[in-house]
Amino acid sequence: MRKILIIATIFLMVAGAYAQECPADKVCVSREVALKAIADADKVTALEAEGKAKDQAISDLKDLLNKSKVEFAAVSGENTALRQNDVSNRAIITVLLQSTKKQCKPFSICVF
């Protein structure tokens, strides 16, 4: 029993010599944990930059869509006006054609 107690005491003294003291206002982590935290921070930064780029692209597309809608409305209005003018022009032509009849004089050839 005494040998076990001596071995345990020596083991605790050796382990205590290798243990690092961590200050109260600091957090002590292993190298692997620190490297993983740095890699995760880089990923978060890259994802934030990608999110901002996507938001900007969506905003630009919305602006282009709104401009296209306005341009389409203007062109559609012009098309409607031109079609209305076509209807009006055809009505005028029809009235003019009906009001001008060929007059057949005695020595002229009338073709209907």
- Domain regions of the chain by residue span: 22-96
Q: How far is CA 48 from CA 41, 43, 44, 53, 101, in A?
A: 11, 9, 6, 9, 80
pLDDT at 8: 64
Of residues 58, 54, 34, the one with CA closest to residue 46: 54
Task: Give the model's pLDDT for residue 28.
Answer: 81
The pLDDT score that the predictor gives to residue 17 is 47
Q: Give pLDDT tens digits along the chain (112 positions).
A: 666 666 666 655 555 545 567 777 877 888 888 888 888 888 999 999 999 999 999 999 999 999 999 999 999 999 999 999 999 999 999 888 877 766 677 777 766 5
What confidence score (pLDDT) does residue 9 get? 67
Tell how far CA 92 is from the center of its chain: 52
Q: Which residues contact 37 (CB under 8 A, 6 or more apart)?
A: 29
pLDDT, tens only, 50-72 = 999 999 999 999 999 999 999 99
Cβ contact 112:102 at 8 Å: yes
